Amino acid sequence: MNNLVRFTDEVLVKLYAEGNNNAFNVLLERYQEKLFSYILFVVRNQDAADDIFQDTFMKAIVTIQQGRYVENGKFQAWLTRIAHNLIIDYFRQNKNENCVSNDDVEYDLFNDMKLSEANVETKMVHEQVLDDVKMLIEHLPQNQKEVVFMRYYQGLSFKEIAEVTGVSINTALGRMRYALLNLRRLAIKKELHLAI
């Protein structure tokens, strides 16, 4: 299995389709943490996140085994799209489409400062900024939270975000723009100093 790690996603998908189960294990290992974090971030329920995570990979397995996966070099975005659709179904079933929050933001969305050799005081200030940003993100509309998460946590491009969420690139960019404007407005309102 170690020698499979060096292969691209598309090669691993092809190997799995040909019967190499270890190839899928590598894909699972490669994306399970990011995908589960995304799902848990949106649904805010461990049990539901576990179910959606498993359903996502089951759908991926079935699609690949049936030969319906279309190779396009975007396996991670495809997985995220499956999860996104399952999350929408979850909220529809539970009629809680607006119950989304975030407790795990690790980035200063305004400055993305690097703390390579920061002193204790700078680290404490940075941690406070992160706590403040977490609090502010709670107040964003769900579609803005989702774009912020995909961009900063999953490192997806705006093109990939657009594909995952089923909107145009301009809409994805607009949601990010409005999210940042809303975060800045909230920071001013709450008199938070997020730029260090």
Per-residue pLDDT reduced to its tens digit, 48-91: 999 999 999 999 998 998 888 887 878 999 999 999 999 988 98
Contact 5, 24 (CB under 8 A): no
Number of separate domains in the chain: 2
**Is residue 90 domain-shared with residue 147, that is, in the same domain?**
no
CA dihedral (100, 174, 109, 166) positive or negative: positive
> Closest Cα partner for 24 from 60, 52, 70, 50?
60
Give the tens place of pLDDT for each residue, 117-145: 445 555 566 566 656 666 777 788 989 88
- The answer to pTM > 0.75 is no
How far apart, in Å, are the Cα atoms of 51 and each of 30, 47, 58, 120, 189?
19, 6, 10, 40, 39
115 domain-assigned: no
pLDDT score at 195: 47
pLDDT score at 104: 44
Counting every residue written for the chain, the total comes to 196
CATH number of the domain enclosing 20: 1.10.1740.10
Half-sphere exposure of 178 (CA within 13 A, CB side): 15
| Residue-number span of the structural domain to which 60 is assigned | 2-94
> Closest Cα partner for 143 from 106, 173, 184?
173
Q: To 10 degrees, what angle do helices 46-65 and 75-94 make?
A: 130
**Is residue 60 domain-shared with residue 138, that is, in the same domain?**
no
70 domain-assigned: yes
31 domain-assigned: yes
